[in-house]
Amino acid sequence: MINELLAPAGNLQAVKVAIDSGADAVYCSGLKFGARSFITNLTDEDIVEAAKYVHLHSKKIYITLNTLIFEDELEEVKSYIDFLYHHVDAIIVQDYGVIHYIRSKYPDFPVHVSTQCSIHNKQDIELLKKLGVSRVVLAREVPLEEIREFNKLGIELEIFIHGALCFSYSGMCYLSYYKGGRSGNRGSCAQPCRQNYELLEDGNVIKEGALLSMKDLNTISNIKPLLGVGVTSLKIEGRAKSLEYVASVVKIYRKLIDEFNQKEKMEVSNDMLEDLYSSFSRETTKGYLFGEDNKDVTTDGSVKHQGIYIGKVIEYKKGQAKIKLNKSLEILDGIRIIDGKRETGSTVTRIIENGKLVKKSNGTVIIDIKDFINPGALVFKTQSARVKRDLKTYKYVSFRDAALEVNIEQNKQTIKIDLGNIVITKEANETLELAKTINKENVIAQFSKTNNLPISYININYKNDDNLFIPIPLINELRRNALDELKDKLENQLERNYLPYPFTFENNYAKKKEMAGIAIKSDRNLHKLINNQQLRDEMLAFHLAEVDSYSMVSPFFGVNNHFSVSFFRNMTKGIIILSFESSLENAKEIYKYDKNVGYLVEFNEPLMIAKHCVVAKACGFDKKQCGMCKKRQYQIRDNDRVYDLRFHNCIMRIEGKKISRKDNKDLVNVYIV
């Protein structure tokens, strides 16, 4: 197989649906430290059960620990990592301190660097490879031609191929935290990018709507070149979405990947597309992967699930709407009807066609609708009864090849199941008698039952030279004992490969300075790190690989704990600036370990760094490089605030007001920027 299909799972049921629909791996989160803290997620008991189910089917499970970690959470994080080490295949991490800890303490535990780290350049990938990171989840802004080059570096790469997109570079967004204290880097993003804004040009409104709302990524029609690149993992976004969404998306991409691997014509049926878009749909884009034009990556229309258009109301009377369909409608489908500025929705419980009750139709039908609807209202399917049925019946099973050996002797009976990396042998010591007649085929068939395990015997060797009679109960006992042990082995299988780690946890700079009074500093280098100099050549200027012996570490690296400080101390003697979100109390705790750490007390809050330009789109340009930002001043405005827009090489930065923190007693490196 060339490409792993990686599916989202927001709960235990979604894990099973994803695997049953054809995913090669799932990613999910525990109850803490995941970037989707507002969804159900998995308890520790759920993770154990999910891991067993996934491993039984020879698939993989990754757990997201991809939030930034504060100092007082480290002990809990350490305990959680120890638990995960014994159950899951890899851990997805954003915090460099957590990466540092895992690589130091568990050098055979695969670490996947999260897309939240915004890795988008060759130098950082090469450094992470040297540090023994197993996989890099690339920033969504990286184009296909660069991915093709990165894939030559000899490290696993993972890219998003479907689902919602962040407006800002992942990990570079502080807008949710700024507006309401809900941090996207801490798993509680309130999605302010889906809200309405006004775009101001020299103080005048020139555009309004959901200006920061990205279209959803959809590469179904462009999947072949992605598969040809040969990256390790193709990732679907959607841990917060429904089971129907997970099943529909996984099935489509599974079909396309299988056809690609088998060199068959890659086709997607209309039914599959209908199931997909009725499960969840916004406007879609092929994204930065394929160099989509600036005008085509965002939409200022509705940010909610739209459903799929299926027809129009042609008449309404006495609680019933007559609808002319252009796609199928069946009992228990969910529908949404848009009537001008009004809309209503319901679950279809009765369909009348030509005066008769029917279960399904794509003609002209009558359905029950309580609210009055005007003729011409548009009808959308928002839930598919067919998809719900398939959740209970459909199962994409990939069987593991196995060899079965059965040897029957008078005082010893042996069964052996060989999967290559797993070999199970069981024996019994019953005294058998010679058989007058024996149906060899029936005996072999009895031994060959797999008790619904996902294995397939491609080679069966049955030996009973003395024609001994073996009772059915003994056959069943031997087979059951072997398969029970095999099931346990499969459920608990984990691949572990030791990778050396060159960094140390020792900190030679921790006691260089003693606590002192407040030292308020205005630092030009730090100003460059936070402001325009962080933007270069349409990419983020600060790279992990650029940190050298005397570098000042940017607050964009999200340092919030002394593990992270320890990580960067392997690279620099310079001042390590704590994250924008670090509290004063958190800073004081980190100072106990390292005094050469900086704390920001006054700075203009950088809220988003985005590859999209709202100005170029609002002014009617397909692409960027229009130069309007050099001629006019631009801002965006919501109900509460005005935000300045800054530009450098067509990268847009949204900036908030100056943040001022007080009461910095006992801190040494305190900065005004």
* The pLDDT of residue 66 is above 50: yes
* Lowest-pLDDT range of 131-135, 160-164, 402-406, 554-558: 554-558
Rounded to whole angstroms, the Cα distance separating 122 from 274 reads: 39
The bridge status of strand 156-163 relative to strand 216-218 is antiparallel
| Predicted pLDDT at 507 | 64
CB 43 within 8 A of CB 26: no
| Predicted pLDDT at 271 | 85
| Predicted pLDDT at 513 | 47
* The pLDDT of residue 509 is above 60: no
What single string gives the DSSP state of each residue in 463-481?
E-TT-EE--HHHHHHHHHH
Mean pLDDT in the chain? 89
| Predicted pLDDT at 341 | 85
Domain 308-393, second-level architecture: Beta Barrel (2.40)
Q: Which candidate, 39, 30, 36, 42, places its Cα nearest to that of 81?
A: 30
**3-state secondary structure string, 327-369?**
CCEECCCEEEEEECCEEEEEECCCEEECCEEECEECCEEEEEC
* Lowest-pLDDT range of 24-33, 598-607, 626-635: 598-607
* The pLDDT of residue 611 is above 70: yes
Q: Which long-range contacts (CB under 8 A, 24 or more apart) does 305-308 make?
A: 305/280, 305/281, 305/382, 306/277, 306/281, 306/282, 306/380, 307/277, 307/278, 307/281, 307/334, 307/335, 307/336, 307/380, 307/381, 307/382, 308/274, 308/277, 308/278, 308/281, 308/380, 308/381
255, 258, 264, 266: CA torsion to nearest 10: 30
Q: Is 252 exposed, middle or buried (0-12, 13-18, 19+ CB in 10 A)?
A: buried
Instruction: Write out the two tokens for 259.
Output: 């056809």
| Predicted pLDDT at 306 | 85
CB 7 within 8 A of CB 21: yes
Q: What residues contact residue 600 under an 8 Å CB cut-off, 6+ apart?
A: 555, 577, 578, 580, 659, 661, 671, 673
| Predicted pLDDT at 36 | 64
* Lowest-pLDDT range of 37-46, 120-129, 423-432, 651-660: 37-46
* The pLDDT of residue 517 is above 50: no
Rounded to whole angstroms, the Cα distance separating 666 from 552 reads: 21
Instruction: Write out the two tokens for 248.
Output: 């529909």
pLDDT digits (tens, 9 = 90+) for 136-147: 999 999 999 999
Segment 3-10 mean pLDDT? 94
* The pLDDT of residue 37 is above 90: no
| φ, ψ at 85 (rounded to 5°) | -55, -35
CB 332 within 8 A of CB 303: no
| Predicted pLDDT at 190 | 85
| Predicted pLDDT at 666 | 63
pLDDT band at 515 (very low <50, low <70, confident <90, very high): very low
Look at the alpha carbons of 387, 389, 391, 395 in this order and tell me if their dihedral is positive or negative: negative
| Predicted pLDDT at 197 | 94
Segment 560-566 mean pLDDT? 95
pLDDT band at 179 (very low <50, low <70, confident <90, very high): confident
pLDDT band at 541 (very low <50, low <70, confident <90, very high): very low
Rounded to whole angstroms, the Cα distance separating 276 from 290 reads: 22
Segment 372-397 mean pLDDT? 92
Rounded to whole angstroms, the Cα distance separating 414 from 182 reads: 61
| Predicted pLDDT at 426 | 97
Q: Which long-range contacts (CB under 8 A, 24 or more apart) does 186-189 make?
A: 186/37, 186/67, 186/68, 186/581, 187/33, 187/34, 187/35, 187/36, 187/37, 187/38, 187/67, 188/37, 188/38, 189/35
* The pLDDT of residue 120 is above 50: yes
| Predicted pLDDT at 382 | 93
Amino acid letter, residue 482: A
pLDDT band at 164 (very low <50, low <70, confident <90, very high): very high
Rounded to whole angstroms, the Cα distance separating 629 from 638 reads: 20
pLDDT digits (tens, 9 = 90+) for 316-367: 998 999 999 999 999 999 999 999 889 898 999 999 999 999 999 999 999 9
pLDDT band at 525 (very low <50, low <70, confident <90, very high): low
| Predicted pLDDT at 514 | 43
Task: Give the three-class secondary structure for 667.
Answer: coil
Rounded to whole angstroms, the Cα distance separating 263 from 379 reads: 39
**Taking the model in full, what pTM does it have?**
0.92
Q: What is the percent of the chain with per-residue pLDDT over 90, rounded to a whole number? A: 69
Rounded to whole angstroms, the Cα distance separating 443 from 437 reads: 12
* The pLDDT of residue 206 is above 90: yes
pLDDT band at 300 (very low <50, low <70, confident <90, very high): confident
Domain boundaries, the chain: 4-165+214-296, 308-393, 400-491, 520-672
pLDDT digits (tens, 9 = 90+) for 442-477: 999 999 999 999 999 999 999 998 889 999 999 999
> 472-491 and 44-56 helices cross at what angle (nearest 10)?
120
Q: What is the percent of the chain with per-residue pLDDT over 70, rounded to a whole number? A: 92
How many Cα atoms are found within 13 Å in the side-chain-facing hemisphere of 242? 17
Burial code (b: 16+ CB inside 10 Å, e: under 16) for 372-391 equals ebeeebebbbbbbbbbbebb
* The pLDDT of residue 1 is above 50: no
* The pLDDT of residue 668 is above 90: no
* The pLDDT of residue 512 is above 50: no
Segment 398-417 mean pLDDT? 95
What's the CATH number of domain 4-165+214-296, 1.20.150.20, 3.40.50.720, 3.40.50.1010, 3.20.20.70?
A: 3.20.20.70
| Predicted pLDDT at 496 | 94
The two domains 4-165+214-296 and 308-393 share their CATH topology (first three levels equal): no
Bridge partners (DSSP) listed for residue 423: 418
* The pLDDT of residue 101 is above 90: yes
| Predicted pLDDT at 508 | 53
Q: Which candidate, 529, 545, 538, places its Cα nearest to that of 580?
A: 529
pLDDT digits (tens, 9 = 90+) for 244-284: 999 999 999 999 999 999 988 888 888 888 888 888 888 89
